[in-house]
Amino acid sequence: MKPLLDIRNLKKHFPVRGGFFRRVVGQLKAVDDVSFRIPRGQTFGLVGESGCGKSTLGRAILRLHEPTSGRVMLDGTDITALDRRELVAQRRNMQIIFQDPYASLSPRRTVMQTLLEPMEIHRIGTPDSRRRKVLELLDIVGMSSKILHRYPHEFSGGQRQRIGIARALTLDPKFIVADEAVSALDVSVQSQVLNLIARLQREMHLSFLFISHDLAVVQHISHQVGVMYLGKLVEIAPAIDLYRDPRHPYTRALLSAIPVPEPGRKSKRIILEGDVPSPLNPPSGCPFRTRCPEAMPVCAEQLPDLKAIHDGDDPHQVACHLY
Amino acid sequence: MTSPLLRVRDLVVEFSTERGLVRAIDGVSFDIMPGETLGLVGESGCGKSVTSLAILGLIPSPPGRIVSGSIQLQGRELTGLSEAEYRHIRGKEISMIFQEPMTAFNPVFSIATQMIDVLVRHQGMSRRQARNRAIEMLALVGIPAPEKRIDEYPHQMSGGMRQRVMIAMALSCNPKLLLADEPTTALDVTTQAQVLEQIVKLQEELGTSVVLVTHDLGVVAEACDRAVVMYAGRVAEEAPIRCLFEQPRHPYTEGLLKSIPRIREEKLPELPTIPGSVPDLLHLPPGCRFGDRCYKADEICHRREPRLELRSDIAVACHHPNTYAAPAPCPES
């Protein structure tokens, strides 16, 4: 089956300026040659530490950041080749949910206005059908129609995030980027919103790119998971496999570092030395080699390719010279 | 029986806001024993940070005010001390580390200047001695080449490095109590692991008591001996760490533990949740504050607020606490 989203060799480099004349003195490779696919109706989880490029990747796919090179195929359409007008039309199919529900809703618009706006911009339906759609969406995200004329400041974080999700659904998208969508929420509310996202995806057959720094949340919500480090995907695997049998030394360290809510259980922790190198001056060869407990001479010379270590419909892929 | 290092009793703190008088914490009590690490956990608005600010004498006034209750450090009452008196306690007897290490430093002074000033002020050292002591402390928290890095400025360091310097600075005067408010929340997991390890190690070596304020139950399980779970300005439950995690008494603690996403062998179809959301402190429900969201709540819960009842070393504020047949797997206390 053809995937809904097919990303090939996507790059996003930001020019770095410096010196007296603000000349371009280097390239910050925020996303560097990333390829993966998301099947229809599935969630691809993207994990990595701050600065690894996961948010930039999410935005480059939607062309909120213009990609430097590479292709993004959404349901057979090459998003990277569209002109401005075509892109606006395609935006119906791809939406984003942001981290901060306090900042992503306009404080001056009522819930009704916020939810009507996308349909008005895209000239979808009649005023009547739009209102019906808004009511239907509120019901889907579990909110009462009584709140239609209220403003964002009257809601809690969890309720705001539900409104953000309803807004993303107004245009019946095929694909949604959720960028740290539950990270700002308290635990008891976070699990409610996660269940909502999982239900929507099953019932509406949506595809998600779920970006998060929280590995447990990502495991729960995702079918496949990709691990990013310094702008590159270092491992991709079905969610259960990745956590049961992590292969890349970085994935292993990352998983071992999560504090487990079970007192007395002393996990064997792989403590990584040092900090993430500056993306302005990445190491030669494998980007992880400066902190890798398994680093070999070849790692400094050659960049390892992302290759499948076992086949199947969902292959487990690793970019490491150990395999 | 050793006496507690810090004793908090029936503490009430109010803030006057545009919408009215908010009681941010309402009758909070707990003890901190010498050399122990106590977790103060809860969701946003539960009062955990206000509690730690009150201990530090840093409640902004106005709008805030300690209405009643007492905070005693080794028998000495801290509420009502003047700012000048508090200044002798903060940094020397009680130290703190904050969530965002960038904003806690002064960006225009080098690490050396900031660390040396503290030592000169509180320990009466010469600048030469203070510099040596500062370098020693930086080495202790695992800063590589401390004699060189001490002359750097905060912005030249990474987040994890800054937080370690913060810890070094907080511990440089040998405080009796270290208050750490979400010390690892702004950090990545791998850095968080380094910093937590550092806090636990130093705590063991120096015997400092630590209060760890956090929303992350994983962090509590990893680093604390005991924990106080707060909800909407009150203590819901207090227990040694293994009792709390293996035999939660309060339905809120139970719900919180169930709803944390954890790495599992098999995927759950749905995550367990706690229905509803945290109540607005200005419009608290009658009776138990957790009543609206509790699966056990009945008529009495909506009528009468439960008191915090102490049984051996477990305290719980609930009309229908969970009971367990097997004895709690508590360590010797």
Residue A261 has pLDDT above 90, yes or no: no
Position B332 scores a pLDDT of 43
Confidence of residue B327 (pLDDT cuts 50, 70, 90): low
Position B176 scores a pLDDT of 92
The answer to whether the beta carbons of residues B24 and B233 sit under 8 Å apart is yes
What rounded mean pLDDT belongs to chain A?
90
The answer to whether the beta carbons of residues B196 and B180 sit under 8 Å apart is no
Chain A contact set for B219 (CB, 8 A): 259
CA distance A158 to chain B (A): 8
Phi-psi group of A71: left, alpha or beta (phi > 0 → left; psi -120 to 50 → alpha; rest → beta): beta
Confidence of residue A68 (pLDDT cuts 50, 70, 90): very high
Position B333 scores a pLDDT of 41
Position B330 scores a pLDDT of 59
What is d(CA B183, CA B187) in angstroms, rounded to the nearest whole number?
8
Q: Among A161, A155, A150, which Cα is nearest to A190's?
A: A161
Average pLDDT over residues A239-265: 89
Average pLDDT over residues B246-252: 95
Residue A272, token pair as written in the block: 């990584």
Kindly report the number of other CB atoms within 10 A of residue A323's CB atom: 13
Nearest CB to B193 within list A159, A244, A269 = A269
In chain A, where are the structural domains located? 5-222, 247-323
Position B279 scores a pLDDT of 86
Chain A contact set for B332 (CB, 8 A): none
**Considering only A92-96, B86-90, B100-104, which range has the smallest mean pLDDT?**
B100-104
> What does the pLDDT look like over B142-155, one tens digit per residue?
788 889 889 999 88
ipTM above 0.90, yes or no: no
Residue B187 has pLDDT above 90, yes or no: no
Q: Which residue has the higher pLDDT, B175 or B311?
A: B175
- Contact map slice: B 202-261 vs A, CB within 8 A: 215-222, 241-242, 245-246, 255-257, 259-261
CA distance B247 to chain A (A): 12
Q: Which residue has the higher pLDDT, B195 or A166?
A: A166
Q: Does A214 sit within 8 Å of B278, measured CB to CB?
A: no
> What does the pLDDT look like over A121-156, one tens digit per residue?
999 999 999 999 999 999 989 888 889 999 988 888
Q: Does A261 sit within 8 Å of B245, measured CB to CB?
A: yes
**Considering only A169-178, B232-241, B258-267, which range has the smallest mean pLDDT?**
B258-267
Cα-atom radius of gyration of chain A, to the nearest Å?
A: 21
Chain A contact set for B260 (CB, 8 A): 187, 216, 261
Position A266 scores a pLDDT of 64
- Of A188-192, A283-287, B235-239, give the range with the top mean pLDDT: B235-239
Chain A residues whose C-beta sits inside 8 Å of any chain B C-beta = 49-50, 156-159, 186-192, 194-195, 198, 213-217, 219-220, 239-240, 243-244, 253-264, 269, 271-272, 275-276
Position A168 scores a pLDDT of 92
Mutate to test the interface with B, among A154, A183, A187, A272 (most CBs of B within 10 A): A187
| Burial of A94 (C-beta count, 10 Å sphere; 0-12/13-18/19+) | buried
Q: Nearest-CA residue of chain A relative to B225?
A: A263
What is d(CA B166, CA A121) in angstroms, rounded to the nearest whole number?
50
Residue B287 has pLDDT above 50, yes or no: yes
Position A173 scores a pLDDT of 94
Q: Does B194 sit within 8 Å of A188, measured CB to CB?
A: no
Average pLDDT over residues A295-308: 93
Q: Which residue has the higher pLDDT, B68 or B140?
A: B68
The full 3-state SS of A191-237, as one line of letters, equals: HHHHHHHHHHHHHHCCEEEEECCCHHHHHHHCCEEEEEECCEEEEEE
Alpha helices in B172-275 (DSSP H): 189-206, 217-223, 241-246, 251-259
Q: Does A244 sit within 8 Å of B218, measured CB to CB?
A: no
* CATH node for A5-222: 3.40.50.300
Chain B contact set for A290 (CB, 8 A): none
Residue B114 has pLDDT above 80, yes or no: yes
Mutate to test the interface with B, among A191, A195, A251, A269 (most CBs of B within 10 A): A191
Q: Does A158 sit within 8 Å of B190, measured CB to CB?
A: no
Nearest CB to A191 within list B158, B217, B261 = B261
Position B291 scores a pLDDT of 94
Position A28 scores a pLDDT of 87
